[in-house]
Structure 1
Amino acid sequence: MASRLRRDVLVAETTDRTSADVIVVGAGASGAALAARLSEDAGRTVLLVEAGPFPRRLRDFALELLDARLIPGAQPDHRAVQRYAAHLTPERPYTVVRGRHLGGSTTVNGGYFVRARRADFDRWAAAGNPAWTYDRMLPWLRALETDLDHGADDLHGGCGPVLVRRASLAHPAAVAFRDAADHLGHPLEPDKNDQAPPGFGPVPCNAVDGVRLNTGLTYALSALGRPNLTALGDCPVSRIVIRNGRATGVAVRQNGQETVFCGGEIVLCAGSLVTPQLLQLSGIGPRADLERLGIPVAVDAPAVGTRFSDHPQLVLEWSPRRELGAPHGSWLGGCLHLSSSDGTHPGDLEILQSLVPLAGLVGGTTTVPGAPLPFLVSVQSPGRTGRLSLRSADPATPPRIEYGYLASPKDRRRLREAVRATAELITTPAFDEISHGLLQPGPDVLNCDHALDGWINRNIGTAHHTCGTAPMGPDTANAVVDQYGRVHGVHGLRVADTSILPTAPLRGPAATAVLIGEVIAHAMRAELP
């Protein structure tokens, strides 16, 4: 395989030779899982191409990429991160990040590994994707994990690649959070992966004994010894080659030159920002946008990038009365899910505790003497307000990314409710013992809707949970792929990452991203219609 590939990379685009039966673009949460599973079939050759570095051994990973007490994605200009300019609202410019390294964002994120809710799966299934009901997905959720807390049972897996353990609640700040939630009458939710009513509990993580176990470690490295799998790092794809309605290869930029790898089937796993960019650069997208940039239209796909979803997030910091010590094992403390007042999506507000100061997360250290500790406060109701479009036909030009946050009164109301719920926690006796109180917003702002809306507008951030830039469904006006990732109108091309989720789930999407790789690999291996 390797020697055949080296010959093929030099051939012209008109070649009929094949580099691999399947080319997987992106070795992140979905792509590493999908490539590993596909290569279990010895008769199928797989080429996995990753835009960033592709270390071949555990010891080749930078230490901060393994330390579960840190979030490399929060560190400015980290070499494993790709940064994108965006607007969260028309007045709020922001920088969003994605992993650009083996393991993708699972290498640089917080290690949060919480399953989507039953309501999420059933909502996606109702959009014309019947394979995606919770009951049909549960076997795959179990198969991808080894739950070190629960072991194998009807809900949890005992022999999958991803090791899952819940974060400890022993830190003094986590104890205070638990007691504050109890004081305010919030129920306990000891296992956030079992679909129980939302409440307070520990966070399931793909981190064990302080090590963040990204999908490069859990899937890709163990598969590299297979002769039918070839992996290339530092190999960004610039477009998909499409001939006569079929995807036949991918063009990559190496050493300033374009090279084409030919494949029998192409699977885009480049993530929810790069995948829609590649589709549009390849002529798959809204016709008017493509024609404006002079890109030949292969398929008029109006849903590419036009209505994505994500979770708006705010950081609320409180000041400890004394040094509480560094966390052990993970930066994460407890997590409270509660429902906004409209009650349409139970558990749609998330209050996630960091045991590391924000200055530490940004600076790559677990302690910062005298620094406040943050809560990450998100509204996770499903909504589709974002738009991703091309600025240029040049692959080196980043896309335009507009989140459309705070556009409706209910968006603003839910965020006000989440902020006030967090502030209320910090006023309880449990927090009073260890905290001087919330830094901001102050009481005058908290008690005035108009003032609080202004504070939210100035401080709004995002949870980096983008989904739906190439949504699945049967209707080509509103969907880009079918329920198994096949791109409508192009043979031999699939998408397998969170781009295909019609809406972001009510929980962070990392576990669902791995699930997508597993499910679409199975569909390909079983040749599901």
Structure 2
Amino acid sequence: MSRRPNVAIVGAGASGAVLAARLTEDADRHVLLLDMGHMPHGEEGFGPALLDARLVPGAQPDHPATTAHSVRLTPERPWQVMRGRVLGGSTTVNGGYFVRARRADFHRWAAAGNPAWNYDAVLPFLRMLETDLDFGPSELHGDQGPMRIRRTRLEHPAAAAFRDAAQQLGFPADPDKNDQAPPGFGPVPSNAIDGVRRNAGLSYLPPEVLARPNLITLSGWQARRVVVEGGRAVGVVAEHGGRRAVVEADSVVLSAGALATPHLLLLSGIGPRADLERVGIPVVCDAPAVGANFSDHPQVVLDWTPRGGLGEPTDSWLGGCLHLSSTGSKPDGAAAPGDLEILQSLVPMAGLVSGAVSVPGAPLSFLVSALTPRPTGRLRIRSADPDTPPDIDYNYLGTADDLCRLRAVVRVTAALLDTPPFAEISSGLREPGKQVLDDDSALNQWIRENLGTTQHTCGTAPMGPADDSRHSAVDQFGRVHGVRGLRVADTSILPDAPQRGPAATAVLIGEFIADAIRRDLRLESI
């Protein structure tokens, strides 16, 4: 492709890979896809270590396909958040969990000034992106999309015990967590098929798509800032092997992820004026919402000890999943339906962090999370030097409700392990012990000391009306307010995190914004 690209996409992850695939379906549109990581061609290019759905490369410290971001979950709790640095982004290194956002999430985002995001409007895109291998085509599911979805099998002894324990405690069956039915226990919709994690890159950009004459890929190139001239984005400054160059384009889409994308905006002079002036970056557009209030989901890991060997999982590290409702207060006084999650790991945590499916004698785990939308985080630029990372505070556990929700989900997990189905295969929860479980103050302290995160960051460049710059940086089609020719297309644009993991929603964002670009939609047409 010798001509100047119509669109330069920064980031080949869950949204960027989708954009590149869909936009190049139009032969007259020329697209350049740039990523700091490797862009393999087909399964062989990824290799078995990235494809094995029984492993989670993102849990392995210093994995070459990841980038580590230093953050603070609370003032006393530093953490490393790992994001994918390879074709498919974090869908290449995550657990393969592919659960749709809830209907209430879409309605909440629509009510925040984004009417095109109501559930009924996005459902066709949700169907279009998937091939549901369990339920097939219907009003809810598709059978022609690039993402192949299959639910985890509950045949492993630990998964069967989880199912029976949840039933014994009265939780409803939830066989399809993508159908918006009342939450309960069920298998996990996943893009792991026959033991292979079919990431978004592999699904949307197979070799035949990467070979399209109107698509150019630049791997190993790191974007440094967007070039804006006369109020319009005209390219990207990128670096490769110590050499910097300007990649020119008619328009630019940032799909670098919810931590890297806002940093690029800030480095480009798009962000809170005072913060930009403090570090000496010329202000292109005063955008106070960039990095101001992002959200994620706090998580703790609960280990339990099996009685003897239960065998290795065959297809996925994931077992069953229980969603239940908290009693945390909301403005309307009601609990959010299914805002707590108990996710089962069939591989020991020691194996997930070391890249081994089996670790003899190691405990198995539940990953328990509060999924209530809570935009408490803040990302601030520290330097005009792009090699200086931003300052990232998650500000977890800021209210009594935050701790109340986590206490509730920890206690339900302990109750599950006390049921007869688990007693047959388990000698119980390792910690916290009963004395801590029964004492709110002691359990609060245990949670603080063991706090982690689901790595579901959203909302660092949220969408909303242009006249509400304190709360919105882009419109509902990802167009950056105040800068022509520049869009954001990743989970940065969600006003807050959905009440499920956001991988499926990240792919949806790619589909939705690709459609907007192809149709040249305007807000007034909705």
Query: TM-score normalised to the size of structure 1?
Result: 0.96
Return the match for 1:390 from 374, 378, 381: 381
Q: Is the 8 A contact 1:19 1:261 kept in 2?
A: no
Q: Deviations over 1:253-281 (max 9, x none)?
A: 12212100111110000000000000000
Match of 1:63 in 2: 48
Residue identity in the other structure for 2:307 = R
User: Is 1:208 matched with 2:201?
Assistant: no
* Aligned residue in 1 for 2:326: 340
The correspondence of residues 6-45 of structure 1 with structure 2, limited to 5 A, is 19-45=4-30
Partner of 1:131: 116
Counterpart CA distance in 1 for 2:170 and 2:475 is 43
Question: Could you report, residue by residue, the CA deviation over 1:144-180 in whole angstroms, capped at 9, with x for unpaired residues?
Answer: 0000001111100011000000011000000000000
Structure 2 unpaired stretches of 5+: 329-333
**Aligned-residue offset at 1:512:** 0.2
Aligned counterparts of 1:21 and 1:230: Cα–Cα separation in 2: 11
3-state SS of the aligned residue for 1:494? strand
Taking the aligned partners of 1:41 and 1:462, their CA distance within structure 2 comes to 40
**How many angstroms apart in 2 are the aligned matches of 1:208 and 1:55?**
19
Kindly indicate whether residue 423 of structure 2 is the aligned counterpart of residue 437 of structure 1. no
Q: How many angstroms apart in 1 are the aligned matches of 2:13 and 2:42? A: 16
Distance in structure 1 (CA, Å) of the matches to 2:487 and 2:27: 21
The one-letter code of the counterpart of 2:24 is: S
Query: Per-residue deviation at 1:134?
Result: 0.5
Q: Which residue of 1 aligns with 2:136?
A: 151
Q: Write the distance in 1 (CA, Å) between the matches of 2:209 and 2:454.
A: 31
Contact 1:28-1:102 within 8 A present in 2 as well? yes
Corresponding position: 1:487 with 2:480 = yes
Q: Give the match for residue 446 of structure 2.
A: 455
Question: Which residue number corresponds to residue 268 of structure 2?
Answer: 282
2:236 maps to: 250
Deviations 1:416-456 (A, max 9, x none): 11111111100001100000000000001000000000000
SS at match of 2:455: coil
The CA deviation at 1:477 is 2.1
Query: What residue number does 2:352 align with?
Result: 361
Tell me how far 1:397 sits from its aligned partner: 1.3
1:500 maps to amino acid: I
Q: Once the 2 structures are TM-superposed, how far is the Cα of residue 398 of structure 1 from its aligned partner?
A: 1.4
> For residue 115 of structure 1, what is the aligned residue in structure 2?
100
CA distance in 2, matches of 1:24, 1:223: 16
Q: Determine whether 1:499 maps to 2:484.
A: no
1:370 is aligned to 361
Residue of structure 2 in register with 1:188 after alignment = 173
Q: How far did residue 84 of structure 1 move?
A: 1.1
Q: Which amino acid aligns with 2:410?
A: V
CA distance in 2, matches of 1:488, 1:434: 56
> Which shows bigger deviation, 251-260 or 180-189?
251-260
Q: What is the letter of the counterpart of residue 476 of structure 1?
A: S
Give the alignment partner of residue 423 of structure 1, picking from 411, 414, 421: 414
* Structure 1 contact 147–163 (Cα < 8 Å) conserved: yes
Structure 1 residue runs of 5 or longer lacking an equivalent are 5-17
The range that moved more, 452-461 or 59-68, is 59-68
Question: 2: distance between equivalents of 1:122 and 1:344?
Answer: 17
1:306 to 292, 295, 298: 292
Q: Deviations over 1:10-59 (max 9, x none)?
A: xxxxxxxx630000000000000011100000000000001111112321
> How do residues 509-528 of structure 1 correspond to structure 2 at under 5 angstroms?
509-528=502-521
- Within the candidate set 125, 147, 159, 1:162 is matched to 147
| Pairwise CA distance, 1:470 | 0.2
Q: Measure the CA separation in 2 of the matches of 1:163 and 1:400.
A: 37
User: Match of 2:331?
Assistant: none
Partner of 1:268: 254
Runs of 4+ that moved beyond 4 A: none
Aligned residues: 514
CA distance in 2, matches of 1:211, 1:337: 25
Measure the CA separation in 2 of the matches of 1:60 and 1:528.
Answer: 37
Distance, in Å, in 2 between the alignment partners of 1:174 and 1:139 is 32
Bigger mean CA deviation after superposition, 216-225 or 382-391: 216-225
* Contact 1:70-1:364 within 8 A present in 2 as well: yes
Give the whole-Å Cα distance in 1 for the aligned partners of 2:292 and 2:480. 16
CA distance in structure 2 between the partners assigned to 1:53 and 1:234 by the alignment: 6
Give the C-alpha shift of residue 345 in structure 1: 1.2
SS in structure 2 of the partner of residue 294 of structure 1: coil
Note the alpha carbon deviations across 1:53-98, whole angstroms, 9 max, x for none. Answer: 1112321113111000000000111000000111000000111110
Q: Report what 1:10 is aligned to.
A: none
Q: Which amino acid aligns with 2:44?
A: R
Equivalent residue in structure 2 for 1:239, among 225, 232, 244 = 225
Contact 1:19 1:47 in 2 (8 A): no
Deviation of 1:396 (Å): 1.0
Mapped to 2, the partners of 1:512 and 1:195 lie a distance apart of: 14
Deviation for aligned residue 1:141: 0.2
For residues 19 and 455 of structure 1, the distance between their equivalents in structure 2, rounded to whole angstroms, comes to 56
| 8 Å CA contact 1:351, 1:375 repeated in 2 | yes
Rounded to whole Å, the distance in 2 between the matches of 1:451 and 1:526 is: 56
Q: Distance in 1 between matches of 2:47 and 2:280?
A: 42
Determine what percentage of the aligned residue pairs are the same residue. 65
Distance apart, 1:399 and its partner CA:
1.3
* Farther off after superposition, 238-247 or 51-60: 51-60
Please give the secondary structure, in 2, of the residue aligned with 1:518.
Answer: helix
- Deviation of 1:344 after TM superposition, in Å, equals 3.0
Distance 1:147 1:525 in 2: 26
Instruction: Kindly state the Cα deviation for residue 400 of structure 1 after the two structures are TM-superposed.
Output: 1.0
For 1:410, give the aligned amino acid.
D
Q: Which residue of 2 aligns with 1:92?
A: 77
Counterpart amino acid of 1:300?
Answer: D
SS of equivalent to 1:247: strand
Distance 1:142 1:244 in 2: 40
> Alpha-carbon deviations, 1:207-256, whole Å to 9, x = none?
10000001111111241121101111111100000011100000001221
Q: Secondary structure at the match of 1:369?
A: coil
Measure the CA separation in 1 of the matches of 2:42 and 2:179: 34
> What is the CA–CA distance in structure 2 between the aligned matches of 1:322 and 1:58, rounded to whole Å?
36
Give SS of 1:20's match: coil
